[in-house]
Amino acid sequence: MATLHEISDPADPRLTDYRDLRDVQMRKHLEAENGLFLAEGEKVVRRAVEAGFTPRSFLMAPRWLDGLADVLATTEAPCFVMSEALAEEVTGFHVHRGALASLERLPLPSVDEVLDGARSVLVLEDIIDHTNVGAILRSGAALGFDAVLLAPRCADPLYRRSIKVAMGAVFTMPWTRLPDWYDALPSLSARGFTTVALTLTEDATPVEDAVAGLDRVALVLGSEGHGLSPRWEQSADRRAIIPMREGIDSLNVAAATAVACYVTARR
Amino acid sequence: MATLHEISDPADPRLTDYRDLRDVQMRKHLEAENGLFLAEGEKVVRRAVEAGFTPRSFLMAPRWLDGLADVLATTEAPCFVMSEALAEEVTGFHVHRGALASLERLPLPSVDEVLDGARSVLVLEDIIDHTNVGAILRSGAALGFDAVLLAPRCADPLYRRSIKVAMGAVFTMPWTRLPDWYDALPSLSARGFTTVALTLTEDATPVEDAVAGLDRVALVLGSEGHGLSPRWEQSADRRAIIPMREGIDSLNVAAATAVACYVTARR
């Protein structure tokens, strides 16, 4: 059973994990250096713990204790209890879902582990927006994809905002970082995946045709602003496009991913 | 040719249209009462003017004047020129795209005007998030939909954030508000549209089957949190679902819309 600690001082040193949640740069350093991530809201906290992540601590208003009682019963971690006003003072934002948890990151699995048994994989080059990374993970999980690989510059799927948008899919979908950017796609081809890059190049074919009849597929997506790097565009086995109305040449990356996942899952 | 006014005082009364852009509630009142909306960024400002909206004024840093010179040449509206620091002081946020315009809203067209000749229509019940409204308009435009109808409580497509996410699709896609919430769907059926509600009800069929072979289709989407109201769910002609992996029962509404539009456009 978690031990409850009533907190009245916002400067309490035990609250370090929860400070300045709106400061993205500061949080990146703090979370990476301390190997932690934050989960927000009863549902997400529950899913993180159920997925096997070890809580370091919880922070919540008294009215959330009952709803998470069964989760708190499974751990010895401290639970810091405070008013919602105090929680806002500590975190720098209105904790409207009332419950936060700080959890230990697990070591990232190897690419081989993540790909083991996978038939449909998403590969993200430089998606730098946490909302997009979360939305893509959620769509991939819902639409039957088995794993996600992230290039080195992709945003962190365990950042609070990503987790929230992914609705916890980041805890169950196998994912890892690609250690090598330059040869990432040829190395997937060598493992038996046909790499299909979503792009607007001249030789791109409709995605439905590009994936038809393929066994193992890696769907490759580029950044919000500039799309794929020339290296990834050219080293993919195939280039594909989502057919669009004349005069319009782009969907946002989360919408494009959802359509491409739907089509690919039905190949 | 727009007249240039160099601004040095952030309290200049001519800047009323641009104040406190981050205060959603305040902006709602100001924009509704004055019949204006804001466009942000060179590309969006250009698309708004080209689509026929009359500019009330422009606000920009000197370095954006050249890029928009051809747009400024088409109007007599004042253009307020100021440093980026001053622009930030006035608007309350970092105007990183450098150019803003305040434009006159046009009277909303009637439902009949918007539906004239339309074969594929999106109907949004209570999508309250501006980002989602913008993303849905963008996907609908890109994937071949002809019009969008909004229930009375839906977020404003001409709010700055919606426009930005829609990449200007809101200027070219015909849309309007439904005057009557209760009978909105029966009234579309009476006009010859088959209304297909995206929902998780037991009798929902896969969307691909639900739209197969239909002539005029109205795809009906509910709110981010609770989905469709019982009234809309029950008054739709058909209920449809996007097939998902077992144990997962939702996509976010923008992703679901993109998939459903793609499938419906290919019916």
- Number of independent structural domains in chain A: 2
A249 with A123, same domain?
yes
Determine the Cα–Cα distance for residues B30 and B56; give it in Å rounded to an integer. Answer: 14
Give the residue from chain A lying closest to B168, CA to CA: A248
CB A51 within 8 A of CB A104: no
CA distance B70 to A115: 53
Residue B1: its pLDDT value, please? 85
* B248 vs A142, A250, A254: nearest CB: A142
Same domain? For B68 and B195 the reply is: no
Do A132 and A96 fall within a single domain?
no
Q: Which residues of A touch B262 (CB under 8 A)?
A: 242, 259, 262-263
Note whether A24 contacts B: Cβ–Cβ < 8 A: no
CATH number assigned to the domain comprising residue A130: 3.40.1280.10
Residue B263, token pair as written in the block: 């499938």
- Length of chain A, in residues: 267
How many Å lie between the alpha carbon of A144 and the closest alpha carbon of chain B?
5
Span of A80-84, A256-260, B91-95, B231-235 with lowest mean pLDDT: B91-95
Tell if the CB–CB gap between B139 and A252 is shorter than 8 Å: yes
- Chain B residue numbers touching A257 (CB-CB < 8 A): 255
pLDDT for position B214 = 97
Give the residue from B54, B73, B104 where a domain finishes.
Answer: B104
Indicate which CATH number applies to the domain containing A18. Answer: 3.30.1330.30
Structural domain that includes position A53: 3-104
Residue A95's contacts (CB-CB under 8 Å, 6 or more residues apart) are: A40, A61, A84, A87, A88
Asked if B245's CB is within 8 angstroms of A141's CB, the reply is yes
- Joined together, the tokens standing for residue B208 give 């691909």
Considering the domain architecture, whether residues A129 and A239 belong to the same structural domain is answered as yes
Looking at the partner chain, which of B252, B262, B263 has a beta carbon nearest the beta carbon of A138?
B252
Helical segments of chain B, H only: 24-34, 42-50, 69-72, 84-91, 111-115, 130-142, 160-166, 169-172, 184-190, 207-211, 230-235, 253-265
Kindly give, in sequence order, each residue whose CB lies less than 8 Å from that of residue A17, ignoring residues fewer than 6 positions away.
A30, A34, A36, A38, A56, A57, A102
With 70 as the cut, is the pLDDT of residue B96 above it? no
Cα A195 from chain centroid (whole Å): 21
Averaged over B138-148, what is the pLDDT? 96
pLDDT at A249: 67
Chain A contact present for B24, CB below 8 A: no
The nearest alpha carbon in chain B to A259 belongs to B259
Residue A7 confidence (pLDDT): 94
Residues of chain A with Cβ-Cβ distance to B256 below 8 Å are 258
Same domain, yes or no, for B90 and B133?
Answer: no
Which of B163, B251, B257 is the best mutation test for A, with the most CBs of A within 10 A? Answer: B251
Which of A143, A172, A262, A263 is the best substitution to test chain B (most B C-beta atoms within 10 A)? A262
The letter for the amino acid at A21 is L
Point out the residue among A143, A251, A263 whose CB comes nearest to the CB of B244. Answer: A143
- pLDDT-above-90 percentage for chain B: 74
Q: Are residues A221 and A120 in the same domain?
A: yes
Distance from the Cα of B217 to chain A's closest Cα (Å) equals 18
Give the count of beta carbons closer than 10 Å to the beta carbon of residue A8: 8
Which residues in chain B are closer than 8 Å to A141, comparing Cβ atoms? 245, 248
Instruction: Give A165 to chain B, closest Cα distance, Å.
Output: 8
Q: Say whether B255 and A144 touch across the interface (CB within 8 A).
A: no
Whether residue B236 contacts residue B121, with contact meaning beta carbons closer than 8 Å, is answered with: no
Spatial distance between the Cα atoms of B139 and B136, rounded to a whole number of angstroms = 5
Residue B22: is its pLDDT beyond 80?
A: no
Would you give per-residue pLDDT tens digits along chain A (267 residues)? 889 999 999 999 999 999 878 777 777 777 777 789 999 989 899 999 999 999 999 999 998 899 999 999 999 999 999 999 999 999 887 776 679 999 999 999 999 999 999 999 999 999 999 999 999 999 999 999 999 999 999 999 999 889 989 988 999 999 999 999 999 999 999 999 999 999 988 899 999 999 999 999 999 999 887 899 999 999 999 999 999 887 776 788 999 999 999 999 999
Best mutation site among A252, A253, A264 for testing chain B: the one with the most B CBs within 10 Å? A252
> Is the complex ipTM more than 0.90?
no
> Would you call A250 and B165 a contact, using CB atoms and an 8 Å cutoff?
no
Tell me which of B58, B88, B104 is where a domain ends: B104
B138 contacts A251? CB cut-off 8 A:
yes
Domain boundary among B104, B123, B144: B104
Residue B237 is predicted with a pLDDT of 98
Indicate whether A31 and A148 sit together in one domain.
no
| A263/B262 CB distance under 8 A | yes
- Give A257→chain B minimum CA distance, Å: 8
Q: Residue A96 has what pLDDT?
A: 67
Q: By CA distance, what is A246's nearest residue in B?
A: B142
In a shared domain, residues A84 and A128? no
Sequence-ordered strand ranges (E) for chain A? 3-6, 36-40, 55-60, 78-81, 99-104, 120-124, 147-150, 175-177, 194-198, 205-206, 217-221, 238-241
When CB atoms are compared, the residue of A135, A139, A244 closest to B142 is A244
Q: Do A244 and B138 touch (CB under 8 A)?
A: no
* Residue partners of A57: CB distance under 8 A and separation at least 6: A14, A17, A77, A78, A79, A80, A101, A102
**B68 and B118 share one domain:** no
Say yes or no for a CB contact (<8 Å) between A245 and B142: yes
Residue type (1 letter), B217: V
Residue B86 phi/psi, 5° resolution? -70, -40
Which of A82, A261, A73, A44 minimizes the C-alpha distance to A162?
A44
B30–chain A Cβ distance below 8 A for any pair: no
Of the candidates B242, B264, B120, B108, the residue with the CA atom closest to the CA atom of residue B188: B120
Q: How confident is the model at residue B221 (pLDDT cuts 50, 70, 90)?
A: very high
| Cβ-Cβ contacts under 8 Å, A138 against chain B | 251-252, 255
Residues A173 and A52 placed together within one structural domain of the fold: no
**Is A257 in the same domain as A131?**
yes
Tell whether A121 and A95 lie within a shared domain: no
Query: What pLDDT does A20 receive?
Result: 79
Contact B244 A142 (CB under 8 A): yes
- B181 vs A: CB within 8 A: no
